Amino acid sequence: MKVLITGGTGTLGKELIKKFYQEWEITVLSRDELKQAQLKAIYPKVKFIIGDIRDYHSVLKAVRGIDVILHCAAMKRIEVCEKHPIEAVKTNVLGTENIIMAAREKGIEKLISISSDKGVEPINVYGMTKAIQEKIVIAEGYNCVRYGNVFGSRGSVVPLFCEQMKKGGPLTVTDPEMTRFILTTDQAIELIMLALNSPMEGKIFVKKSPSARIGDIAESFGGETKVIGKMIGEKMHEMLIAKEETLRAEDKGDHYIISLKMNGLKASEPYTSDKERRLTQEEIKELVKEYKQRNNLD
């Protein structure tokens, strides 16, 4: 199977390459030539293309001969998207349109787009662009996956706390009472494969996940913490399924599937991180330990 991973030098892309290197014929489209060179040294069979999803010609070149597209590329940092909203639109919205148009032009039947809980009732630019991205993808009959924070992903609090601990602290916490949905990279990939192996019917696959207080994550490192206050665009608690979406959400046990059709039931409460089961300190410490081992950190 020939698979294109957009933004394939990011956290999720690297894990996909690692897991399926021997099974798939992988092509990566991204802008970072240094990270591409570093990954090429480890995975010589992967084809790397320098390009930007904002450029339709780059995308069209990358999708030639491809069977499946995993669309992971995005501007993700909330504060950067807040300062440069048009740039976020160009990447997350117009870039996605380029991916979809190229897929249709080349007759690619399978495409999965990676979404976020921040796209549910969004209050920041990043979330707004991810919400539109979902609409673009499902309108064309492709599937999306939607989940919360992948533990230890680039730009999240875990690598930040590791770096701050290395420098002697303190650990900067915006608000210790904030909660976030947490899942591992393996769980994220499992959801992607579930959506990929399901019929392409414009559905959104949502992973059920425990949550964690930001304060609990910081405390698991054992260092001094410093509360710095919420950033613009941050929510206290995240949402994976809005109340209106519960009318279209089917409970599948460890995940939900949101379709375009109503399920005939009354709306239920939204699926929010403050109502979900909280990870214990022991569970968080184990996740931190696994993250450090995976990244060769002391």
Tell me the catalytic residues. 118
Q: Is the separation of the CB atoms in 213 and 243 below 8 Å? A: no
- Nearest-angstrom CA–CA distance, 256 and 267: 15
- Nearest-angstrom CA–CA distance, 37 and 48: 9
- Nearest-angstrom CA–CA distance, 175 and 231: 10
* Collapsed DSSP state (helix, strand, coil) of residue 249: strand
Write out the E strands in the chain.
2-6, 25-30, 47-50, 68-71, 110-116, 143-147, 149-150, 171-173, 179-183, 204-207, 211-213, 225-227, 239-241, 249-251, 255-258, 271-272
